[in-house]
Amino acid sequence: MQLEQHFELPVPPDAAWPAFADVELLVSCLPGASITGPAVDGDWPLRFDVKLGPISAGFAGSGKPTLEDAARRGRFEGAAIDKRTQSRVKGAVAFALEAAGSGTRVSVDVDYALTGQLAQFSRGGLVRELASALTAQFATNLAARLQAMPAAAEPAAALPIVAEVPVWLPQDDPAPIVPPALPTAPAPARPAGAPLSATSLLLQVLKARWRRLLDRLFRRAA
């Protein structure tokens, strides 16, 4: 199945793009998703927990990102399995960033295949609306993280440059900030977060459908 989504972020592409190279940041913004260990040769061990009423599933697998910095676009491919239902999912997510006013428009193309007992839930137009609701939650979380990044402090006058290191230029302050040195040891595994409540998303979708229906009825009556 193929899905096309898009959302906007309140920061320009130059400020938004580094977040898409930070897999841990992206995963932390996606409800139900978690990283279960350090990356190995670019492959990240991932887990996605979802609950729909009495049905719960925990998909464990891995994914690998590829990025094109100059074009500000990338791709994330992965596969996972839920042992409880013997359901498997395999897919790819392609994304691209472009300027939209003072912010960024992110286009997302998803191509996936789901097999096993849970495949029955991947059919129909309802899946697209659930995907839209999940994308909206992810976009809200990512926008909040980007806006919460600390602003640059004013540098001391006439400080000598002791080494050439990569710098990051914040949106509203031309003064560069030198990022802290990266740790040499791999980051510890992050425990799985709360599972995605598909029931909650479904209720959001049904409410949106009901509002659209009422809106159409009122327009006809007017």
Q: For 19-66, how does the pLDDT look when each residue is reduced to its tens digit (9 = 90+)?
A: 999 999 999 999 889 999 999 999 999 999 888 777 788 999 999 999
- 10 domain residue, yes or no: yes
Is 221 among the domain residues? no
CA distance 44 to 1: 24
Structural domain contains residue 178: no
Asked whether residue 103 is domain-assigned, the answer is yes
Beta carbons of 87 and 60 less than 8 angstroms apart: no
pLDDT at residue number 91: 93
Rounded CA-CA distance 189/166 in Å is 27
Nearest to 93 by CA among 153, 138, 35: 138
209 in any annotated domain = no
Number of structural domains in the chain: 1
Kindly report, residue by residue over 94-114, the tens digit of the pLDDT.
Answer: 999 999 999 999 999 999 898
Closest CA to 61 of 47, 74, 50, 73: 47
Look at residue 186 in the predicted model and tell me its pLDDT. 40
Phi then psi dihedrals of residue 201, to 5 deg: -65, -40
Compute the distance between CA of residue 209 and CA of residue 203 in angstroms, rounded to an integer: 10
Look at residue 218 and tell me if it is in a domain: no
7 assigned to some structural domain: yes
Q: What is the mean pLDDT of residues 16-20?
A: 95
Q: What is the pTM for the complete model shown?
A: 0.67
Look up residue 96 and give its two tokens.
């691209």
- Residue 210: inside a domain: no
User: Which range of residues forms the domain containing residue 86?
Assistant: 2-149+193-199
CATH code (residue 125):
3.30.530.20
For residue 8, give every residue at least 6 positions away whose Cβ sits within 8 Å of its Cβ, in sequence order, or none.
Answer: 100, 103, 104, 105, 106, 139
Report the C-alpha gap between 84 and 60 in whole angstroms: 11
